[in-house]
Amino acid sequence: MARLKEIEQAIYVMEAPTGESKIGIAEDAYMRWGTLNGAYPRGDLKLLWVSERRFDAWRIEEEIHEMLDDKRLNGEWFDIPSARAIEIVSARIPGNLWERKPKKARTKGTGRRSPPEFRERSMKILEARKSGMKLRSIALKFGITQQRVSQILAKCAPQPVRCRNVRLRAAGKSPSQMQFAY
């Protein structure tokens, strides 16, 4: 495992609903925010600022923590306004205010196979499986994973009727006419 000082990391500034600021480092600040947000007992944390990733981020973070030691509440939490925390950190390392990026709207057919192409490929996969080919061979032939082959087969293959009464009715019998339907 690489030591902390050998990893590119980013410095981030978070704000708690109570007004405290957290100045920390992480390889992935957004994942760190999600982890802390789920574990934070007093409400939602806001990720306000993220720096570019650098190998010396740990050193810059230590300098900032030493400078703000008189305002330290606990660990990386400080009793300073978030605007001041961002000002202090951004003076030492480039970064930007984080804005949540909207999810891309999915448009039909963008980057995906069209339904007729998908059905055609699915039927070829089903035929290959019926002919006795192994999942691994099918996956290699079509350039997909074995898991994806299994998913396609599960969607294409006819599903057995699961309800006992429906099976009996389909056979033209009532439930009382058969002792064991399993």
For residue 22 the two structure tokens come to 């957290």
Q: Are residues 74 and 117 in the same domain?
A: no
Residue 60, SS3?
helix
- The predicted pLDDT at position 181 comes to 45
Domain that holds residue 125: 113-157
Q: Measured between alpha carbons, how far is 95 from 74 in angstroms, rounded to an integer? A: 25
Total domains in the chain come to 2
Domain co-membership, 92 together with 12 = yes
Same-domain status, 24 and 56: yes
Where do the H-state alpha helices sit in 14-92? 29-39, 57-67, 82-90
**Does 26 fall in a domain?**
yes
For residue 32, give the CATH number of its domain.
3.40.1440
What confidence score (pLDDT) does residue 165 get?
Answer: 57
Can you give the pLDDT at residue 81? 92
* Residue among 65, 77, 67 nearest 16 (CA): 77
pLDDT at 52: 83
136 within domain boundaries: yes
pLDDT averaged per 10 residues, the chain (length 182):
67 89 90 81 81 86 92 92 89 65 45 66 88 89 87 73 55 56 44
